Amino acid sequence: MKSGIISLFTNETERSTGVESQLKEKLAARGYQVAEGYDENAELLICIGGDGAFLRTMHRCDFPETPIVGVNTGHLGFFQEVWPEEFDNFIVDYELGSYTIQKLGTVMGIATTTDGKRDVHIGLNELAVTGSKSYSIHLDLSIGGKPIEKFSGDGILVATSAGSTAYNYSLGGSIVDPRLNSLQVTPLAPMNTTAYRSFTSSLMLPPDLTLGIVPEASDKVIYIHNDGIETAYSNLKEIEVRTADKCVNLIRFSDYDFWSKVKDKFL
């Protein structure tokens, strides 16, 4: 039984707020109750903006299971499915159930400090670990509890499949079809000299393996970035990175094809 409540999220641009007013009118005319922001009884979430707005919405709502659709207002729009001009067709398809749900996995980093504090960071795109801009960091990396390398360079990024087309791609990482539930570990400016030996390519991990990251010096400032949210640590002991339980249920219509979208957006 659907609740008839739709939660709307909009970024601050003039174009998005204009589109928001139009959509509100259309939804009200179809008998929906529109909530601004998250309503736990909503049957559908709509995010107006680009991928950045989509990421912020997911973090603000703490990755709810409620289906979500993105309305693109002129951005790159990898997560976004509908253009404002297509909104009437969208409502019809939505009511007929003519859509599929694309499940997108997330990545989780559990950070432990030297005084025993634990923080959990979730990313839909990625989780990155870096030092401050002016010096390299040295990280002991392990996979499934087995030491794999001492990384030296700017940092390490762990991307979900959905996030493979974002920062990961700019770093030379591979594009991964979101149907593959995996984590991709991509180095940021790895040093590979006779003094330091680091992998220079990405490593692909299955969903049941954990990446362990231990900074060589726990007193250096280390940053954890999850989807552009930055947290600084001056006493980081270790980070465990693995797939998280939370996932995003993204509405896609019959003509959606991941690889066509990749071609349209990148080539």
Task: Calculate the CA dihedral of residues 13, 14, 20, 26 and round it to 10 degrees.
Answer: -150
- Cβ proximity to ligand NAP, 35 vs 76, nearer residue: 76
Hey, which residues are catalytic here? Answer: 51
Q: Pick the closest to residue 148 from 208, 206, 213 (CA basis).
A: 213
- Cβ proximity to ligand NAP, 53 vs 111, nearer residue: 53
Determine which residue in the list 137, 162, 185, 188 makes contact with ligand NAP, applying CB under 6 A: 162
- Cβ proximity to ligand NAP, 39 vs 126, nearer residue: 126
Task: Calculate the CA dihedral of residues 246, 111, 228, 143 and round it to 10 degrees.
Answer: -80
Question: Any contact of residue 250 with ligand NAP (CB under 6 A)?
Answer: no
Q: How many angstroms separate the CA atoms of 100 and 219, rounded?
A: 48
Question: Any contact of residue 227 with ligand NAP (CB under 6 A)?
Answer: yes
Determine which residue in the list 9, 78, 151, 233 makes contact with ligand NAP, applying CB under 6 A: 78
Q: 44-49 and 100-113 as β-strands: parallel, antiparallel, unpaired?
A: unpaired
**Total Cβ atoms within 10 A of residue 97:** 7
Q: Which stretch binds ligand NAP (CB under 6 A): 148-156, 163-171, 187-195, 204-212?
A: 163-171
Site size for ligand NAP, by CB under 6 A?
Answer: 18
Q: 5-10 and 33-36 as β-strands: parallel, antiparallel, unpaired?
A: parallel
- Cβ proximity to ligand NAP, 9 vs 167, nearer residue: 167
Question: Any contact of residue 212 with ligand NAP (CB under 6 A)?
Answer: no
Q: What does the block give as tokens for 267?
A: 């080539």
CA 20 to chain centre: 24
Using CB under 6 A, list all residues that contact ligand NAP: 50-52, 55, 75-78, 125-126, 162-163, 165-167, 170, 227-228
